[in-house]
Chains A and B, each alone.
Chain A
Amino acid sequence: MTEKISLRQVVPSIMPGDAISNAVFALHRSVRARGYDSQIFAQWIDPSLRSQVHSLNRYRPSGGKDILLYHFGLGSELTDFAASLRSKAKMILFYHNLTPAHYFEYADPLLAQALKKGREELVQMAELVELAICNSNYSARELSEIGYRNVVTVSPVYMDEKYEIPPEERVLERFGDGEVNLLFVSRISPNKKQEDVIKVFYYYKQINPHSRLLFVGHRGVTRVYYEWLLDLIEYLDLKDVYFSGRVSQAELNAYYRLADVLVSMSEHEGFGIFLVESMYFGVPIVAYKCTAVPETLGRAGVLIKKKDFPVIAEVVHLLVSDEGFRQAILESQRERLKDFAREKVEARFWGSLAPLLER
């Protein structure tokens, strides 16, 4: 009889709606569907997920063929924990990319510190892991440069049932009044550059006064940047800018259904899940060309090479008013979306895992 292989995913925190948590659960389902044992361990667990996730202090090596998959997106003591299990499990690092610390020097010094520590830990881990999985070639290049040898790229997302959850009616009623809705989906954070989306909207609002800007995503831990954004909105005397805060999946689906254009001015994305979600919901994308964004978009959407806000506002206007252009962009996005089909993503993941399963 062969020993049962157990995949144990380790993650600092797990909560509903979080990008890393979504990737953890997607892998968990995929692994179980293949008949393998799969367990999730986290340091901090959202109360709503306690029945599905084990606390980290309950982690015990099974003694069999464990594969430990460490989701890495921040410096934490979990790195030491993972390193201590090196001899007891095959180690895989799932690198979700580290945001450069300088974005948080003033808004969130503690986070800046954790990101710097993360950068050091990432270097230490290079010698310990048998395989590193990345969200994008952009992240893979980062790892290769610091000495990782076996690096593969697997998209962290595929379209599953959660996007089919009926959209929240209250959101549809509130914002589905025929006004043009510009959308950006991400947590409020200096690297996401919500301020620049506001500036685009400042110009667009002059072209089309019947419009609003919707920011979907939680407001950040320290809220310093969020409050700075509120100041900016007041300074520009802008009306119709809304911040949703953290949302449920049904609410998120509703915001996507309502959106006319997704505008991203983000300056650091390890992948950009919201880009794929926009493709899925048929929302044309205008995104600043940086980090992994052009790779995720492929030949889809509209890329912005330089932040000239009146020009970007005109692109948004063209996408709203020129049906031919809009449909052509949507077609390019539908084509790209095929690359994120569940079968393709899973095949790539299992393909990269196969050598470890065989040994």
Chain B
Amino acid sequence: MAEGKAREIIEIPSPTIDADEVLGALEENLKGRAHLYSSLKRERPYLPTYDALFVPEPSVVSDALGYHLWQVSRIELLTKPQLIPSSLPLIGGLVDSFKLLFHNLVVFYLNTLAAKQAASNASLNFALRLLAWEITQLKDQMSHLPERGQKGDD
């Protein structure tokens, strides 16, 4: 009989299916791939949820940091023209080429702004990483404090 976590997670409503047998097979497969799952967990300790973007749970904040730093460093600029062709007879082509010219002009200036923003994001990213590193160091130091206290009591 399966006794692991599969039972807490899976429910097979059909009474004609031997749920124990299925859950047993699941447990076996989970055990066989335990290494794979733990290496994936190390690789991606945090799987973001959409709701948590707005209301983060304190318990996941440190894991979430990596993801949000990754996201803050991304900036995309829509450079491909999305122009609706003019339906005007004769001068339609001319109108379209003006539209394209105007589009390119906007992209040129936006690009400058985007580049500045990207540089600023990268800087912020770096600063936050440094801060995260400092916090990790402090946490590490603090974890030794009770140990020292106990030794002193002795």
Contact = CB atoms under 8 A, between A and B. Distances in A.
Contacts of A332: 13-14, 16-17
Interface in B26-65: 26, 29-30, 33, 36-37, 40, 44, 47-51, 53-54
Contact of A294 (B10, B13, B54): B13
B116 interface: no
B1 to A, nearest CB: 17
B14 A328 contact: yes
Contacts of A225: 50
B13 A303 contact: yes
B129 interface: no
Given A195-B50, A203-B40, A236-B44, A306 B16 contact: no
Contacts of A202: 40, 44, 47
A190 interface: yes
Contact of B49 (A195, A236, A310, A317): A195
A190 B71 CA distance: 19
Interface in A25-74: none
A300 B12 CA distance: 8
Contacts of B51: 190
Nearest to A106: B54
Interface stretch (A117-125, A149-157, A227-235, A244-252): A227-235
A206 interface: yes
B124 to A, nearest CB: 18
A138 to B, nearest CB: 16
A338 B33 CA distance: 39
A308 B26 CA distance: 13
Nearest to B15: A299
Contacts of A302: 10-12
Contacts of B36: 206
B13 A304 contact: no
A85 interface: no
Could you say which interface size class chain A belongs to?
Answer: 35 or more
Interface string B113-147: 00000000000000000000000000000000000
A183 B147 CA distance: 53
A309 interface: yes
A199 interface: yes
A340 B70 CA distance: 47
A322 interface: yes
Q: Is the interface of A mostly helix, strand, loop or mixed?
A: helix
Contacts of A109: none
Contacts of B10: 302-305, 311, 315
B13 A297 contact: yes
A186 to B, nearest CB: 15
Nearest to A107: B50
Nearest to A228: B50
Interface string A179-207: 00000000000100001000100110011
A171 to B, nearest CB: 26
A199 B41 CA distance: 12
A329 B9 contact: no
B22 interface: yes
Contacts of B17: 325, 328-329, 332
A38 to B, nearest CB: 37
Given A235-B44, A314-B26, 16 more contacts: A105-B54, A190-B50, A195-B49, A202-B40, A206-B33, A231-B71, A299-B13, A299-B14, A300-B14, A302-B11, A304-B9, A304-B11, A305-B8, A308-B5, A317-B29, A318-B29
> Which 3 A/B pairs are nearest by Cβ-Cβ distance?
A332-B14, A303-B11, A299-B13
Interface of B: 5-6, 8-17, 22, 25-26, 29-30, 33, 36-37, 40, 44, 47-51, 53-54, 67, 70-71, 74
25 contacts: A105-B54, A106-B54, A107-B50, A195-B48, A195-B49, A228-B53, A232-B48, A235-B44, A235-B70, A294-B13, A299-B15, A300-B13, A303-B13, A304-B10, A306-B8, A306-B9, A308-B5, A308-B9, A310-B37, A311-B5, A311-B30, A328-B17, A332-B13, A332-B14, A332-B16
